[in-house]
Amino acid sequence: MAEAPDNTEPRCPACGGRLGGFAPDDTVTGIRCTVCDWVGAVTTNHNRPTFDHTPYDVWVEWAGHDRGRIIAAVGNALCIGVKAARELLDAGSPVARGVQALEVRRLSEMFRGLGLCIRVSPEYRWPLG
Ligand SMILES: [Zn+2]
């Protein structure tokens, strides 16, 4: 008895190869052939931080760190000086307000380079770096 052909998967109309997608963070989304260069209906992938226009507030998490060191680090990182950084942290204020997703990622990378974590509100939907 011959094996039934596998009809459960969509196949490439050009070569019959298996169809695949694009990486989740690719600039486009759609289907394409994994064998030849056939590409199906492709649209811009809006599921990326570039298209996220949510304004985010960003705080530096400094619990457990030396306060003086954090103030100096934040003041340097944001080019606002120690005094402004101290006021910011003492007031529990965000270090950035209403910034876009890519700026959140940049801040996260910058503060992580300083050994600090950030807190983002509303909840950040993208991988942070
Ligand atoms: Zn193909």
Phi, psi of 98 (to 5 degrees): 65, 30
Q: How far apart are the first and last CA of the chain?
A: 53
- Cα(3) to centroid of ligand 1, in Å? 23
Q: Which CATH architecture has domain 50-121?
A: 2-Layer Sandwich (3.30)
- Cα(57) to centroid of ligand 1, in Å? 46
- Cα(10) to centroid of ligand 1, in Å? 11
- Give residue-wise pLDDT tens across range 4-49: 555 567 899 999 999 988 887 788 788 899 999 898 877 887 777 8
Q: Which residues surround ligand 1, an ion (CB under 5 A)?
A: 12, 14-15, 17, 33, 35-36, 38
**Alpha carbon distance 84, 90 (integer Å):** 10
Q: Is 107 helix (H, G, I), strand (E, B) or coil?
A: helix
Q: Where are the domains of the chain?
A: 19-47, 50-121
Instruction: Find the largest Cα–Cα distance for the chain.
Output: 82
The pTM of the full predicted model, rounded to 2 decimals, is 0.65
